[in-house]
């Protein structure tokens, strides 16, 4: 009810971090293109296998003059995997502790980015080479206010060679997607969900340009081939955006959705990383790459600790959109007041000094459990994170956004949206 909304609003208002003037509006009026980097982990960036870079194109964007790259950015997904990542990105709300909010909360009221940007003249679309119903996307995207959803039915002339386990391989996918993208009016807010680099990372060997790894663990060994393929597909996508003339006026945000290699593969990963994997390393293996490319913006490598919950306020502020009235559980990564505390869905957290993993608090630098006299600060951070998760869950489980609408926001009526098959 409205009392619970008040508690949530009190929290989000006090947690709010104002935009950084140097970046606010850097992408004002521009198109937005999100690239969902399926199963990409930060350890892949600049990693060399057999003396070769695995992801040369993405690596070339690290240090690019118009690209921010975040090397301490963590996924915060749970059982909802891809859908949890999308849920956080569109709403700055946490996914649920169990199951997938996409499936169980598809009919909730949301104030998601596609809806919020409508008043600013944006049309929105998702491109994904799988069936529309996977993760209940075709329902929840309506509640988010997505104008278009181009799923596998919008793509033509596909052969077996074009298909991965979860849909169209990234190269044919991006190739046809750009034609579909060109049918949209500008400015647009869009998301492209890749699938080639998905567990168990099988790919036709004729399509590969790097040898497998040789740990003896099949999914770890395959991982690098599909990552290379995805990297090439993204390079091709950038070139196509350039050719279409859209690139100069488009902000491109690329994020890893969740880990691709679970802890069960740590012995193979120790061979890959040539080191023993400590609890700290395990937590850091939950880092996923985040790139924000904006024509004309000052780029660089940013070491801020942050997570997927923080991306939406960051993007909104780059677009020059104020967010103090939004119910967001994350804060702008570029804000001077962004707090470097990343809480995972299970209540564990990482921060520049302290990591909390299971029942133990660790000193990040030494990797040792914290001494008794340092526990107070750790417990404070833990409680802060747990309170935040609790309020986010309360918002989602109670469908509380029904009772609140930020100033100037036009509520979404899901019945207004129908996703038709569109072919070019
Ligand atoms: C399929 C896809 C995969 O449509 O996005 O989701 P995941 O298995 O990674 O959660
Ligand atoms: Mn995924």
Counting ligands in written order, the one closest to the CA of 192 is 1
Residue 1 has pLDDT above 80, yes or no: no
Instruction: Calculate the alpha carbon distances from 213 to 148, 206, 222, 281 in Å.
Output: 40, 17, 7, 21
Which candidate, 191, 84, 202, 207, places its Cα nearest to that of 148?
Answer: 191
pLDDT computed for residue 75 by the predictor: 99
Counting ligands in written order, the one closest to the CA of 128 is 1
Cα-to-centroid distance, 41 and ligand 1 (Å) = 15
Ligand 1 site, residue 81, Cβ cutoff 6 A: yes
> pLDDT digit string (tens) for 208-232?
999 999 999 999 999 999 999 999 9
Which candidate, 255, 354, 345, 340, places its Cα nearest to that of 306?
Answer: 340
| Mutate-to-test residue for ligand 1 from 88, 99, 135, highest number of ligand atoms within 8 A of CB | 135
Counting ligands in written order, the one closest to the CA of 40 is 2
Cα-to-centroid distance, 221 and ligand 1 (Å) = 21
pLDDT computed for residue 424 by the predictor: 56
Which candidate, 419, 400, 415, places its Cα nearest to that of 111?
Answer: 400
Instruction: Calculate the alpha carbon distances from 241 to 34, 181, 190, 252, 356 in Å.
Output: 13, 10, 13, 10, 42
Ligand 1 site, residue 199, Cβ cutoff 6 A: no
Cα-to-centroid distance, 166 and ligand 1 (Å) = 7
pLDDT computed for residue 6 by the predictor: 96
pLDDT computed for residue 422 by the predictor: 61
Residue 402 has pLDDT above 80, yes or no: yes
> pLDDT digit string (tens) for 187-201?
999 999 999 999 999
What average pLDDT does the segment 250-274 reach? 98
> pLDDT digit string (tens) for 8-39?
999 999 999 999 999 999 999 999 999 999 99
Centre a 10 Å sphere on the Cβ of residue 103 and count the other Cβ atoms it contains. 15
Cα-to-centroid distance, 37 and ligand 2 (Å) = 8
Q: What is the mean pLDDT of the chain?
A: 97
Q: Is 82 a catalytic residue?
A: yes
| Whether the Cβ atoms of residue 309 and residue 78 lie closer than 8 Å to each other | no
User: Which residues have C-beta within 8 Å of that of residue 86, sequence separation ≥ 6?
Assistant: 36, 102, 135, 191, 193, 257
Residue 121 has pLDDT above 70, yes or no: yes
The residue whose C-alpha atom lies closest to atom 5 belonging to ligand 1 is 82
The residue whose C-alpha atom lies closest to atom 9 belonging to ligand 1 is 82
Ligand 1 site, residue 134, Cβ cutoff 6 A: yes
To the nearest 10°, the Cα dihedral for 422, 30, 77, 14?
Answer: -140
Residue 421 has pLDDT above 70, yes or no: no
Name the token pair of 19.
Answer: 């935009």
Cα-to-centroid distance, 101 and ligand 2 (Å) = 15
Atom of ligand 1 nearest to the CA of 36: 5
Residue 383 has pLDDT above 90, yes or no: yes
Residue 2 has pLDDT above 80, yes or no: no
What average pLDDT does the segment 90-108 reach? 98
Burial pattern 146-184, b for ≥16 Cβ within 10 A else e, equals: bbbbbbbebbeebeeebbbebbbbbbbbbbbbbebbeeb
Cα-to-centroid distance, 64 and ligand 2 (Å) = 27
- Confidence band of 407 (pLDDT split at 50, 70, 90): confident
> pLDDT digit string (tens) for 291-304?
999 999 999 999 99
What percentage of the chain carries pLDDT values higher than 70?
A: 99
Atom of ligand 1 nearest to the CA of 131: 4
Residue 394 has pLDDT above 70, yes or no: yes
> What is the DSSP track for 96-162?
PSSS-HHHHTTTS----HHHHGGGGT-EEEEEESS-TTGGGHHHHHHHHT-SEEE-GGG--S--GGG
> pLDDT digit string (tens) for 231-243?
999 999 999 999 9
Question: Which residues pair with residue 301 across a beta bridge?
Answer: 69
Q: How far is CA 22 from the centre of its chain?
A: 23
What percentage of the chain carries pLDDT values higher than 90?
A: 96
Ligand 1 site, residue 36, Cβ cutoff 6 A: no
Centre a 10 Å sphere on the Cβ of residue 280 and count the other Cβ atoms it contains. 18
pLDDT computed for residue 420 by the predictor: 79
Ligand 1 site, residue 82, Cβ cutoff 6 A: yes
The residue whose C-alpha atom lies closest to atom 6 belonging to ligand 1 is 82
Q: Name the phi and psi angles at 70, rounded to 5.
A: -105, 115
The residue whose C-alpha atom lies closest to atom 7 belonging to ligand 1 is 82
Centre a 10 Å sphere on the Cβ of residue 199 and count the other Cβ atoms it contains. 18
| Whether the Cβ atoms of residue 116 and residue 326 lie closer than 8 Å to each other | yes
Distance CA 85, CA 348 (A): 17
* pTM check: above 0.95: yes
Ligand 1 site, residue 127, Cβ cutoff 6 A: no
Find the catalytic residue in 55, 67, 82, 226.
82
């Amino acid at each position: 009810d409205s009392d619970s909304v008040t508690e949530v609003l009190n929290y989000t208002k006090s947690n709010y971090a104002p935009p950084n003037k140097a970046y606010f509006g850097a992408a004002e009026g521009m198109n937005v293109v999100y690239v969902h980097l399926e199963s990409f982990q930060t350890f892949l960036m600049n990693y060399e296998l057999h003396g070769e870079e695995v992801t040369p194109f993405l690596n070339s964007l690290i240090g690019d003059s118009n690209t921010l790259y975040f090397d301490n950015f963590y996924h915060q997904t749970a059982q909802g995997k891809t859908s949890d990542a999308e849920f956080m990105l569109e709403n700055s709300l946490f996914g649920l502790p169990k199951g997938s909010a996409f499936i169980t909360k598809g009919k909730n009221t949301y104030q998601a980015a596609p809806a919020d940007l409508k008043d600013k003249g944006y049309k929105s679309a998702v491109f994904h080479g799988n069936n529309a119903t996977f993760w209940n996307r075709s329902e929840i995207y309506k509640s988010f206010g997505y104008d278009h959803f181009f799923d596998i039915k919008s793509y033509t002339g596909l052969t077996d060679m074009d298909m991965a386990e979860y849909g169209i391989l990234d190269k044919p996918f991006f190739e046809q997607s750009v034609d579909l993208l060109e049918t949209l009016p500008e400015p647009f807010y869009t998301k492209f969900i890749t699938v080639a680099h998905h567990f168990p990372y099988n790919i036709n060997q004729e399509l590969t340009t790097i040898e497998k790894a040789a740990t003896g663990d099949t999914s770890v060994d395959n991982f690098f081939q599909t990552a290379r393929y995805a990297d090439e597909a993204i390079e091709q996508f950038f070139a196509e955006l350039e050719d279409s003339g859209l690139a100069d006026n488009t902000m491109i945000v690329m994020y890893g959705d969740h880990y691709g290699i679970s802890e069960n593969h740590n012995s193979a990963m120790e061979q890959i990383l040539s080191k023993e994997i400590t609890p700290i390393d395990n937590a850091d293996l939950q880092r996923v790459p985040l790139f924000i490319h904006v024509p004309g913006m000052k780029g660089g490598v940013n070491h801020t600790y942050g997570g997927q919950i923080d991306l939406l306020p960051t993007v909104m502020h780059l677009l020059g959109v104020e967010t103090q009235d939004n119910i967001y559980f994350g804060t702008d990564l570029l804000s001077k007041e962004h707090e470097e505390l990343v809480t995972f869905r299970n209540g564990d957290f990482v921060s520049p000094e302290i990591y909390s993993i299971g029942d133990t608090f660790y000193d990040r630098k030494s990797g040792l459990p914290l001494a008794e006299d340092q526990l107070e600060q750790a417990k404070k951070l833990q409680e802060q994170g747990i309170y935040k998760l609790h309020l986010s869950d309360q918002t989602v489980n109670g469908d509380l956004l029904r009772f609140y609408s930020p100033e100037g926001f036009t509520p979404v009526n899901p019945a207004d949206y129908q996703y038709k098959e569109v072919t070019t």
